[in-house]
Structure 1
Amino acid sequence: MKVTETELKGCFILEPTLFKDERGYFFESFNAKNFNEAIGEEVSFVQDNQSYSSKGVVRAIHYQQGKFTQAKLVRVLSGRVLDVAVDLRKGSPTFGQHFSIELSAENKKQLFIPKGFGHGFSVLSETAEFFYKCDNFYNKASEGGIVYNDPRLNIDWQIPLNEIKVSEKDLELPTMQIASL
């Protein structure tokens, strides 16, 4: 597994080692020992989530606050997404900055998003199945978010504006200036 830290400290791209032959391929998608050694900290995942979305869907920047803050390891099982991580750690030198990467079933890349970050994605293919591991349980009372078109973040979701599909709930999220962990 190749592990590369992004410009946002603690946020890593993971690329598996593929073993291919005439039958197809095999790769280890997760190994706790190797993962923890690679990122330099102990992370214990307790919840797996999966979503299915159609082209143009933007799932805005979401996060958990307080004792329910979550680290996530995300990947795409089918299709392609633009995955976005936003550093919301007050006092961080990269506070308010975001990182984006295309994750796909084809490239098999994963993104580790540490605690204190917001996370969202847009669907670039006709459909996409998205999978993520969380190191803490979801708590509705602790959820927060940032509207997808926040002017400070200025995220290019790589979807034409007239094709973006956003939930009513996500349209009501605050901007970065109001939201913070």
Structure 2
Amino acid sequence: MHFAELEVPGTYVITPDQIVDDRGTFYESMRTDEFERVLGHAFEPRQINYSVSRRNTLRGIHSVTNPPGQAKYVTCVRGTLRDFVVDLRVGSPTFGRYASNVLDAESGRSVYVPEGVGHGFITLTDDACICYVLSSTFVPGTQIDIDPLDPDLALPWGYTEQPLMSPKDEKAPSLKEVMEAGLLMRWED
């Protein structure tokens, strides 16, 4: 597996080495020893979630307060999506900037999202299924939601028709409002 750091420090796109033969494809999706080697610390899964979405569904931008903090390993296991990570760490040299990748089931590519970085995606196919491997379990009241259409973020979602969004995401506050509320973690080198 190959790790490539993205424009947002500490975020990576991970591309597996695939073994292809007449039967199909095999690859290792995750190895905690490789994560520890690259990240310099352990990534220990505590919860695994899935979401299944229709084409043109936009989910995010989401993060978790610290504590408890939450890193994510995101993989598209069916279909295709455009994935975004947004640096929400106050004081980071890339605060408010983003990185985007296309994730699809065929490539097996995944994205590692460290604590304090927001995540969202838009589905490009019907019945897209996304798997989230999380470093902490769900704790009510710790979710951070940021308006994915915040003009200050200006994320290039690439949709041509209004995307499907949850009421929670449609009503989410701007990055500026979340920052002023003191919900974001501070950058640590």
Q: Identify whether the pair has TM-score above 0.5, normalized to the shorter chain.
A: yes
TM range (shorter): over 0.9
SS in structure 1 of the partner of residue 38 of structure 2: helix
> 1:163 offset after TM fit, Å?
3.5
CA RMSD of aligned residues (A): 1.0
Deviating more after overlay: 34-43 vs 92-101:
34-43
> 1:51 offset after TM fit, Å?
0.5
Work out the CA distance in 1 between the residues paired with 2:112 and 2:104: 15
Residue equivalent to 2:118? 118
SS in structure 1 of the partner of residue 177 of structure 2: coil
SS in structure 2 of the partner of residue 178 of structure 1: helix
Identity %: 33
Work out the CA distance in 2 between the residues paired with 1:133 and 1:179: 25
Q: Which amino acid aligns with 1:87?
A: D
Question: Residues 7 and 98 of structure 2 are in contact (CA less than 8 Å); yes or no, is this contact kept in structure 1?
Answer: no
Work out the CA distance in 2 between the residues paired with 1:37 and 1:94: 24
Residue equivalent to 1:167? 166
Alignment of 1:1-181 (within 5 A): 1-160=1-160, 162-180=161-179, 181=184
Structure 1 portions without partners, runs of 5+: none
Work out the CA distance in 1 between the residues paired with 2:98 and 2:6: 10
SS in structure 2 of the partner of residue 126 of structure 1: coil
> 1:144 offset after TM fit, Å?
1.2
SS in structure 1 of the partner of residue 141 of structure 2: helix
Work out the CA distance in 2 between the residues paired with 1:163 and 1:44: 37
Give me the TM-score of the superposition, normalised by structure 1: 0.96
Question: Residues 68 and 138 of structure 1 are in contact (CA less than 8 Å); yes or no, is this contact kept in structure 2?
Answer: no
> 1:41 offset after TM fit, Å?
2.1
Paired residue total: 180
Work out the CA distance in 2 between the residues paired with 1:155 and 1:127: 23
Structure 2 portions without partners, runs of 5+: 185-189
> 1:22 offset after TM fit, Å?
1.1
Question: Residues 55 and 126 of structure 2 are in contact (CA less than 8 Å); yes or no, is this contact kept in structure 1?
Answer: yes
